Structure 1
């Protein structure tokens, strides 16, 4: 199975800010034709799409990567807010219009570090976060702004990759730091 995933990933376009959209579930194997190019290329984007026009289907990863889907439908794949002012407009354009987004409980939130967008690695729980103490500390600091310490630790221990609440893991493309935010219904 891992070998098939590696082969499929090698065939997909490269997304610097979302390195493995197959693993995150934002792209899935599909026999459906792309709503933009009309081709059935074996994969379909399944994440969020922000546009005004009703869509009759889903885009393929290639039409996301080359920007043709976003241009045709004036669409975005990530709802970017709180973007640091030092992030170049070209980066914002790539993140919002040429990078697969991801689904979360309340809506996606892209993280930034070192003046750049961070690479989205996927949904994680407390067990997976144990390998990323820097991301866990970020979550702890964010949660401690509104909760007592005992509740913060209970919340962090309850994070579940496949459940609710979940955390979303990123890696800084420049310094390698791991970042995360938590979300729940």
Structure 2
């Protein structure tokens, strides 16, 4: 079993985010037990009867063999074709209640950090301001209800936290059932 894991620029800690976990499962792509297995989304028209190891994600063989993607390209407008392929076909996706999507900053995909609640967002006031703005654009007009919603993130709704790979700016979007 392998203990080292490939590095993912756009999802630096998939173990912490829960997208990859320790496992004795056999990878459906390489047919090896590598000690870690992917647990989040994979979009394909093919029937896949198992999960992938991080190595088959990182080298692109899982996406190629099963003609699929680990995340939707929604939200990745304006990034290079190379970045689009890196995120959708060679980067672990993440769990979400709605269809997960990637955020962009400085004309590049941001790195997914984790699913967070208000407590984790409180140390990023600019992210809370960004979420307030985004939610107002989505129709939230009552400021008191908006603040109540934000302060209860982590209780039925969460935020997906990202960090820009160039400037380090944090950004997020809200995910709810």
Alignment deviations for residues 116-162 of structure 1 (CA, whole Å, 9 cap, x no partner): 000000000000101111211111111122112111101101100xx
Inter-partner Cα distance in structure 1 for 2:89 and 2:77 = 18
Taking the TM superposition and a 5 Å limit, the aligned residue runs for 1:129-168 are 129-145=121-137, 146-147=139-140, 148-160=142-154, 163-168=155-160
How many residues end up aligned between the 2 structures?
A: 173
Gaps of 5+ in 2: none
Gaps of 5+ in 1: 1-7
Inter-partner Cα distance in structure 2 for 1:73 and 1:180 = 30
Inter-partner Cα distance in structure 2 for 1:22 and 1:42 = 12
Inter-partner Cα distance in structure 1 for 2:57 and 2:76 = 21
Taking the TM superposition and a 5 Å limit, the aligned residue runs for 1:1-185 are 11-85=4-78, 87-145=79-137, 146-147=139-140, 148-160=142-154, 163-185=155-177
Inter-partner Cα distance in structure 1 for 2:80 and 2:126 = 25
Deviation at 1:51, TM superposition (A): 0.5
Deviation at 1:107, TM superposition (A): 1.2
Corresponding residue SS for 1:136: helix
Runs of 4+ aligned residues of structure 1 deviating over 3 Å after TM superposition are none
RMSD, aligned CA: 0.9
Inter-partner Cα distance in structure 2 for 1:176 and 1:35 = 36
Deviation at 1:82, TM superposition (A): 3.4
TM-score by length of structure 2 reads 0.95
Alignment deviations for residues 35-92 of structure 1 (CA, whole Å, 9 cap, x no partner): 000000000000100001111100000000000001100110001213333x100000
